[in-house]
A and B are shown apart, each in its own frame.
Chain A
Amino acid sequence: MNPDTRKTARARRQRRLQRRLPTNPYLQITSMTDMFTLILAFLLTFYDPSIVGAPSLVLPAVPVNAEEKPGPRIDVRSDGIVVDGVLVVTLDGHGGLRPGVERDAEGIPAVREALSARARDSATLLVACDKSAPYGIVGDVLASAHAAGFDDYRFVVESTR
């Protein structure tokens, strides 16, 4: 086959291919949108800003894998005590009570007050403590919870098992 004939055949093939392709092709992004929407929905469902990214609440990692129960939750962070997402007592940043915060033989009155309404609905209290929190403040919280009517505590931990 001479070179001119070959060039003509190639040009014909290209013209035929161009005729087959749409004149105004759009990027097909529907599947990609589906995928990203699913990923976003997954992340938003499992994203818990109360734990994730809170430097004042780092849970201890221990090898347990126990049954989980629902209930009202109290967070003992290094900078405050939070009951169901509401800051009740501000701490000094190291898990200690700030001067002037009232404390009595039954714990911390502000915590007791915040928990007493919730104790009517559930006997179980979820306690999420920062791993560096001294047991003194955890004990105060437990004493307050006990006085408010809770007798079953579930400590929220990061499971390594």
Chain B
Amino acid sequence: MNLLITLTLLSTVAMSGFRRLKLMTGTFMIQSLSIAFICFFLGYETNEAHYYALGMLTILIKAIVIPIIMNKSINKLKTAREMNMIINGYWSYIFSSIFVVIALMLLKNFRQDLIKTGLVLILFGTFILITRKKAINQMIGFLTVENGIVLIELSTVQMNLAIEFGIF
């Protein structure tokens, strides 16, 4: 479990320095996959079916369909890199580490690590949304925010499957 959370966090932080668009989608895929495995793990622990369903959905949509669509549209583009970011890679690393600290400080009363990771993902997703100029990078930022919400929702309240699908 801790390993999976670490993987999610690492892939998120790693995203901040990448310029190549394909590398971005790749890391995003790793992030979604590790979230899906977190779902499976929770399902295995609690024996509830809807965790499995959520994990399958995450794999199907966020790890397979969306990266394929993105790679297709990247191939159509002329430039494969994000050239002028508003905040460059070096500072993005620093910011993402600041986000981790903020999340740990704000939510130190919570036992679970999932909700902290979720907050980091939301903060970092909005950060990417603001500082990148390419539309695809902004999409990835938005999807990262969504992944963060899935994590928060997993850790706090267990919704019905229909509603989980709606959030999706």
Partners in one complex: no
Give me the interface of A with B, judged by CB distance under 8 Å.
none
Give me the interface of B with A, judged by CB distance under 8 Å.
none
